[in-house]
A and B are shown apart, each in its own frame.
Chain A
């Protein structure tokens, strides 16, 4: 029908929604909407960063002791893995913009694999904490928070908690509440991100995105980078805060 032909001429792209004037306006609205969502996410994580700052200022020695028990090698590895995944995500957006579908798919697969690697390493770390009885409170039935404490003169054992002067086991438990709340929420965001990447991958394989229309790739990319940024702050705050007290 003639009216439909006119619509196609005016709107141009199959993905253009009728309430937007053109693809550019649609894309900008999508990006802005995602940023508003990310602001609410920042407020959400902000509350936990606040709790962290407050309790760390109250119990500095306990926080340093607890932090030193975390595995710095795995923490650094995960930071590098996440930065690499952010890079491959950025490249996925780039190749979509350039219309290089095969490379876009490869980058999305790499991002997904790196994200899953991060979660795997996190799982190993959580299991270590379980072994050392560092899961706070009674979250694990029959295996409440009760780490062994390293005593003076004993041979060093990295499974035991080494308390710095002024630190108590109770206050170390506070660190682990915050550690599991923050890394757990971060990991949940990674799991959701992995789901979103799977969705992108399916639609990408169907050739749904092109240089004119790729808002989902761009917007999920923003989400993925946001989760990376949270980790960029979590890593030094949780893993590195007490390392300079370890002398030899």
Chain B
């Protein structure tokens, strides 16, 4: 059997890391960081947590290269979704003066 079995001690470590990350992100949310750093801190912690889940709980660290390619392509297509959409929105003039919730594209 060539399947890699992740030892229990690693599962427990990841579990504790995830709980710590949750505590950190809640504490950080009440602290007023300059500029957009509240969002950046929150998303960084979430990404770290997600990475640990993917690598260890989902065994990707020990999976075949093919699985890595599939995940990389998912992230690449997500990047396309966001980059092209916001490239479009950010190069149009948006009129936010109307607060009815209607955005006028010109």
Chain A residues with CB under 8 Å of chain B are 24, 27-28, 31-32, 35-36, 38-39, 42-43, 46-47, 50, 53-54, 58, 72, 76, 79-80, 83-84, 86-87, 89-91, 94, 97-98, 168, 170-171, 173-174, 211-212, 218, 221-222, 225-226, 228-229, 232-233, 235-237, 240-241, 243-247
Contact = CB atoms under 8 A, between A and B. Distances in A.
A244 B30 contact: yes
Contacts of A174: 101
B100 to A, nearest CB: 6
Main secondary structure of the interface of B (DSSP, over half): helix
A237 B99 contact: no
Nearest to B64: A28
Contacts of A89: 57
A225 B86 CA distance: 29
18 contacts: A32-B67, A35-B67, A39-B71, A42-B74, A43-B77, A46-B81, A79-B22, A87-B18, A89-B57, A90-B14, A91-B8, A94-B5, A94-B8, A229-B54, A240-B29, A240-B42, A243-B30, A244-B30
A94 B70 contact: no
Nearest to A168: B99
B33 A244 contact: yes
Contacts, number: 135
Contact of A83 (B18, B63, B78): B18
A109 to B, nearest CB: 18
Interface of B: 1-3, 5-6, 8, 11, 14-15, 18-19, 22, 25-26, 29-33, 38-39, 42-43, 45-46, 49-50, 53-54, 56-59, 63-64, 66-67, 70-71, 73-74, 77-78, 81-82, 85-86, 89, 94, 96, 99-101, 103
A173 B63 CA distance: 43
Contact of B32 (A50, A171, A218, A244): A244
Given A36-B70, A90-B11, A76 B38 contact: no
A197 B46 CA distance: 26
A86 B54 CA distance: 11
Contact of B103 (A58, A91, A243): A58
B15 A83 contact: yes
Contacts of A212: 1
Contacts of A236: 25, 29, 42-43, 45-46
B6 A35 contact: no
Given A50-B81, A222-B58, A244-B31, A97 B3 contact: yes
A229 to B, nearest CB: 5
Given A171-B99, A244-B29, A211 B6 contact: no
A238 to B, nearest CB: 11
Contact of A244 (B11, B38, B99): B38
B19 to A, nearest CB: 6
A80 B50 contact: no
